[in-house]
Each structure stands twice: as structure tokens, then as C-alpha cells.
Homo-oligomer: A and B are copies of this chain.
């Protein structure tokens, strides 16, 4: 339907000024005499006028719109991140155009084309896999973009992630300090840098302390797979005495399998440690020891970086890592000498 919205020309007529003057009143930084200012505002109020942002964007070449591409919201970490990203951008006068794309590369590429046609000023790719062609296309196009929670080896691509390697190392360190000897890793998606780094950090610490991992399996951030692997792990002989799970979302499934299906006591029989510290991790039902990946701090850093790239295209891209803090709760048998998570 075509709603007839009132235009600057109509306001100008009613206020007895020229149309550009109306425009200036609504354009921050323009100078208009107090008298006309008042008359225009009055007329605008009376007619319910608001500048058409489409027309404005067409002129200024800036849409003040940011495209956010998300892989999926099943994992509450992304919900938290989306809310935070959204709030931050709105605070800076930007609007958000959201797209949900599965990790199928084709889909992501198509979505990005779409975003470009919409003249977004910048793009956030949250946890989606980006093909090299797409990356190249975005760079050629000159549009600022940053990867959220999904880094790439290529340092010319801006990204914000947790310090995943360090987090994985911390998990191993904590479990080893707790006296665990048979530590399994239900890993995050190994096709994502996130998943690989968490695992690499975990392995690095194990090796450093001369330990062998008990078992490692890629569960691709899937609850279903994590559940199945947990059962398999224990049903095929003796199980591990600790499990480092690639993220909280899977860890909840692991806990269920352990407690409700295998009848094990956590942490007496097995310790479990997750990654993310989503809100649910603090629920009494789970009370999960985990590595905090602070969605809000990551979102802040992401917004800040993208905005500075938009403002200043010459800026060098950066890869920011946000430290992951260990949050100790009750799913782990904790080291005797343990006091302050800060020591880890």
C-alpha cells in the first residue's frame, strides 16, 4: 500500500519557508534562524512530519543501517549478543537489518549480496562461515565488515572473538589441577576457528603437563551429537573422569546424558566444564563451571570497531581477542588449593 506521508515541501508551505529550510531544521549542524526554526517545527508537528530516511540516505550515501548476519539463535549466546549489538548500534543512531543464514556458504553469500543492494554502511557476520570469494568481494567492494565470534586465520579480516586458545588452556589447567587424569574433550565445530582454538589450547596444556587427552570428538556445537557421544563414551567401557565441552549449549546436553541417562553424579563421578557462560549456565539446574565469553564486551568491541571502520576507511583492520574468565560453579571437582579463579 502507498501511505501518503507528508513531505518537507508540505511543511515548508505551511511554515512559509523554502523546502531546503525545512530540510536544514532536521539536519543536525545546519544553521536556521530561531524564528523559522520554530515555525518549521510547529508545522512539522502539526503534520506529523519526519524526514524520509530513504531520500536522505540516497543523498548522503550513508544509510546508517548495519546488516547483521547470524547463523542461528538456538544457542542463547547469540541471542544475548544480538540484543547487545542491537542496543549499541541504536545508541549510535544506526539501525539494524537482520538476516538469518545457515552456515551454507551459498546462503551466506546471497544474503550479503542482498545487504549490499540495501546500501548498508557496514556488516557484522556473527558466527557464520565466510567463503574466501565472499571475503574478497566484500573487500573489493570496500564495505567495512567484522566477524563476530568467528575469526579467520587471515589477519586482514577484522574480527572479535574470545581468547579461545587461552580459554581451552585454562580449562585443561583447571581440570588437571583438580586431579583429573582422564579428560575428554567434546569439541566445538572443527571447521570453525573457535572450535579449533579451544581444542588447540586444551591440547597445548595437556601436552605441557605431559598428559594425553582421554578422547576427543567433534560434536559441531550440536546438542544431539554431544548427547550421543556422551553416551557412547561411557557405554563403550570406562568413561573419562572429566569432560571439557566446546560450549555451554552442548554442555547442557552432556549433563543431561550423564545424570539422567547414565545415572552418574556430577562432579563426583565426572567433572564437566563448558564455554560461554550463557545465562542458563547459572541456573541451579545446571550450575555449570565454564569459561565466560562475555557477549556484551564482545559486542561492544565489535560495534566500536565497525563504527571506526565506517568513519575512517583507512584504518587498519584488527583482530581483537577478549579474555575468557573461568567461572567456577558446581559441575567440577575443584582443586584443593583452589581459591580464586584469578589464579588460572
Knowing A50-B113, A144-B1 are in contact, say whether A285-B57 is a contact too (CB < 8 A).
no
> Any chain B CB within 8 A of the CB of A98?
yes
> Any chain B CB within 8 A of the CB of A41?
no
| Contact among B73, B117, B283 with A79 in the assembled complex (CB-CB below 8 Å) | B73
> Any chain B CB within 8 A of the CB of A48?
yes
Check A73–B63 contact: CB distance below 8 A: no
CA A159 to CA B115, docked complex, whole Å = 30
Check A284–B260 contact: CB distance below 8 A: yes
> Any chain B CB within 8 A of the CB of A118?
yes
Q: Mark A60-97, 1 if CB is under 8 A from B, else 0.
A: 01110100000011101001001100110010000111
Note all chain B residues with C-beta closer than 8 A to A98. 86, 96-98
Knowing A3-B142, A313-B1 are in contact, say whether A54-B51 is a contact too (CB < 8 A).
no
Interface range, A side: 35 or more
> Any chain B CB within 8 A of the CB of A336?
no
Note all chain B residues with C-beta closer than 8 A to A316. none
Q: How far is the CB of A30 from the nearest CB of chain B, in Å? A: 18
Check A52–B260 contact: CB distance below 8 A: no
Check B118–A54 contact: CB distance below 8 A: yes
Check B2–A61 contact: CB distance below 8 A: yes
> Any chain B CB within 8 A of the CB of A174?
no
Knowing A55-B58, A58-B54, A87-B100 are in contact, say whether A1-B142 is a contact too (CB < 8 A).
yes
Q: Mark A119-160, 1 if CB is under 8 A from B, else 0.
A: 101000000000000000100111110000000000000000
Q: Looking across the interface, which residue of chain B has its beta carbon closest to that of A101?
A: B90
Note all chain B residues with C-beta closer than 8 A to A279. 74
> Any chain B CB within 8 A of the CB of A165?
no
Excluding A5-B119, A96-B97, 10 further A-B contacts by CB distance (< 8 Å) are A1-B312, A48-B141, A51-B117, A53-B118, A54-B57, A65-B97, A73-B82, A95-B118, A97-B98, A261-B284
